[in-house]
Amino acid sequence: MSELFDAIDALIASASPLPPPAERERLRKAHGLTQDQVAKALKVRRPTVVSWENGKTEPRPPQREAYARLLEKLAELYPADAVVSGQVVSPGTVSTATEARPLPPGPATEPDTTPQSVPAPTSTVGARPDRSASITPPMSRRPVVRRATPKRAPAPAAADPGYANGPLGVLDGDGSLYCVGGLVLDCPARTIPALVDWTLADAHLGAPRLHPSGKDADPLIVLTGAAAERLGLPERLEDRRGLRLPEDHKVVKQITRAKWKLTRRGFGPWARIYRPATGGQRQCVQFAILPWGALDARSWGHTAQLDPAGIAHVLGTYATRVITPRGSTAVSGLETMTALRPPTRAVRNEDTGTWVSGSVPGSLTDPVDPAPVEAPDEHPVVAALYPRTHQRTPGEVLDEEAYDWTRDPQLLTDTECTRTFAVGIDVNTAFLAAANRLVVGLGAPVHVTAPAFDKKTPGSWLVDLSGIELDPRLPSPFTPHGTRPEGPAWYATPTLAYAAELIDTYELPVAIRPLEGWIRTESGPYLDPWYKRLAEAYKQTMADLGVVPGMTETEFLAAMVTHKQTDPGLAAVLSAIKSTVKGGIGKLRERPQGTGYKFGERWPALERSTWRPDIRAAVISAARVNMHRKVVKTALATQTAPPPVGHLMLGEDALLPIALLSDCAVYLSDGPSPLDVLPHTADGKPAPGTFRLGVSPGMVKHEGTQEMLWAVQMLDEGHNPARHIKGTDAAIGGE
């Protein structure tokens, strides 16, 4: 019978009310106890006590009964009405000092930046790094969590109380979930379905939408190797091609039994687990599995090797400035476009009074097939026209790609051969700069015959530009390899508009007469919000690394030498932002993936409204002609005489590149610095229209310097010096 009474007493104690979270903390501190001491006595971890005291979680039996007894005894010693002027006046040992905690270096020691206008969560949350603060993770395994005074405007995620703990968390093997700002939550889940349930019910993770008609970002849970093992996931994926768990794996079966679903890509390095939305409420959690290669080192540097707190800082900063990662940086780049310009919105049907889905002005609303000249070879519209082995000619395909050009070494001048160095300059986020104010097509292409060219109309044009003659030391702006066109070829609107500009400016004896066109009658600056968000993210991160607008050229060059060593975490964020630009543009023409694809069939990416190879072509076209325009302006600013009317022939003293690769140009110079190359006016300012050193997108930085003889040898051997001027392969880190 006594056992039954004991069971009844335990049952009552397990449901007995506990003091409010703030009172729990007050009582502990009043007796001079630390959270570690309480955790040790109750046989739990310190983050568990933190969660109890900030109200994130509630204790469960058997600890609940013991914790309630502790608080009851402390309340007898230190009643609430005995607190006067911040000091406890009651019998027993009195502690008036705050709890002592070690403070390792890192962001936890920075002041919190939660705004006063937004109520901070009741948890003891670590400080958000200040805009200029380092985000290098602390050396200790667990970051400090503490209260701090609000200082500046918050990250967008903090604006919604439902997302009080930020956009994401990094789960370690001991159940600690590391969030932004140094917050650590105690996660009790030991299976993937339980983790999904807990994340949606208790974690308070996510981020608000970037557009009023968009969707909030789903919470992201990043799993370390230890966390993956704890949840029953293998150390590596056996399916190295499909990169997913097999359908018969126990974790996949657990997900299915719990009535959750996986997307078509299954459970791989980036997975999404969801249930269909009910009542307008999304139920979805996304996962990044670190041991499976979720964070590609080419985009994220050594982020995956950081401790969980450091990973949370890097990914949290990226999520705040760009978007919560949803896959590779390329995927995130495309998702950012959609998040900023969602395809649909809710509109009221005036006849029925109900709300229905309608298009968002200026967005890409429906998937459309490209013009045959804009599509890759395997696309159904091309496969229906040509046999698989057919090599399409410039008159059959739009070939708008980035520069890969080298000058014939026989065209080096005597003056150039006396120089000592080869200096490379690189355009900051060239594709992003090209997207700024770029008008692109929004709908399906319309075929026209013998149209009059209009530079305001986006599209593809079949034109013969072989009659435009330029200095042989210059690359042609009309082809990616820089050679002169030999006849009619297809060009995107920015390329043809630049041809018209050259003809008008230099009075060239050529007329533009398109033979055909695939034009878009509906158009707009679709990429503008994308440009603005990523440009701000890039500049803000560069500012955090010590490179700011307004620097002198000398200050800028000096800051760029060490900026990546200032803070490795921020350097990883910067790398990811640049990869987001490059990858996002590439995703506009995503090719088929997987071994099961058959030539000529449709593939999943074609069903996206953002599968738009014509927009990709327009961006790359604009970037290439921007580069050529700067090359010409630089040459004209350095020669003594203007070019003759009717020709774009330059003097021997004109400064001309010996190589171009995408956004990098290599010049021969008497000195090793870009300041020894780039032209300036008499008052020391950059010559108008030329390359300009600076941090903003479209401006340039120093790419690298080598000896002149090295560069000439590269030309003689058929290699592009711009690819290796930095000492590494530029294709790996291009922007």
On whether the CB atoms of residues 225 and 235 are closer than 8 A, the answer is yes
Burial label, 251 (beta-carbon count in 10 A; 0-12, 13-18, 19+): middle
d(CA 518, CA 199): 49
Q: How confident is the model at residue 369 (pLDDT cuts 50, 70, 90)?
A: very high
Going by their DSSP bridges, the two strands 168-171 and 220-223 should be labelled as parallel
What average pLDDT does this structure show over 344-350? 86
Among 66-80, 525-539, 700-714, which is the least confidently predicted range? 66-80
The confidence band for 96, taking pLDDT boundaries of 50, 70 and 90, is very low
Q: What is the pLDDT of residues 301-333, one digit of tens each?
A: 999 999 999 999 999 999 999 999 999 999 999
Instruction: Report, as an integer, the average pLDDT of 189-194.
Output: 97
More confidently predicted of 59 and 297 = 297
Q: What is the model's pLDDT at position 201?
A: 93
Burial of 32 (0-12, 13-18, 19+ CB in 10 A): middle
- Mean pLDDT within 375-387: 96
Contact between 589 and 376 (Cβ < 8 Å): yes
Between residues 85 and 42, which one has the greater pLDDT?
Answer: 42
| Most confidently predicted of 95-104, 159-168, 550-559 | 550-559
CA gap 33, 36 in Å, rounded: 8
Render pLDDT for 416-427 as a digit per residue (tens, 0 to 9).
999 999 999 999
29 has pLDDT over 90: no
Per residue in 135-182, pLDDT (tens digit) is: 444 333 344 343 332 333 333 333 466 799 999 999 999 999 999 999
Per-residue confidence at 85, pLDDT binned at 50, 70, 90?
A: very low
pLDDT band of 403, cuts 50, 70, 90: very high
Q: Does residue 109 surpass a pLDDT of 70? A: no
Distance CA 482, CA 543 (A): 36
For residues 286 and 73, the model is more confident at: 286
The helix/strand/coil state of 407 is coil
Buried-exposed string 408-419: b where 16+ CB fall within 10 A, e elsewhere: eeeebeeebeeb
Average pLDDT over residues 519-532: 97
* 318, burial (CB in 10 Å: exposed 0-12, middle 13-18, buried 19+): buried
Q: Which of 503, 430, 454, 451 is nearest to 663 (CA)?
A: 430
Annotate 125-143 with DSSP letters as a single string. PPPPPPTTS--PPPSSSS-
Confidence class for position 13, pLDDT limits 50, 70, 90: low
pLDDT for the residue 88: 37
- The C-alpha R_g of the chain, in whole angstroms, comes to 31
pLDDT digits (tens, 9 = 90+) for 578-609: 999 999 999 999 999 877 889 999 999 999 99
Which residues sit opposite 421 in a β-bridge?
669, 707
**Banded model confidence at residue 12, pLDDT cuts 50, 70, 90:** low
What confidence score (pLDDT) does residue 285 get? Answer: 98
Half-sphere exposure of 10 (CA within 13 A, CB side): 10
Instruction: Catalogue all structural domains in the chain, each as residue range(s) with its CATH number.
Output: 2-88 (1.10.260), 107-327 (no CATH), 406-430+526-733 (no CATH)
Determine the straight-line distance between the first and last CA of the chain, rounded to whole angstroms.
76
Q: Is the pLDDT of residue 349 over 60?
A: yes
**What is the 3-class SS of 614-671, one letter each residue?**
HHHHHHHHHHHHHHHHHHHHHHHHHCCCCCCCCCECCCCCCCCCCEEECCEEEEEECC
Element (H, E) at 422: strand 421-427
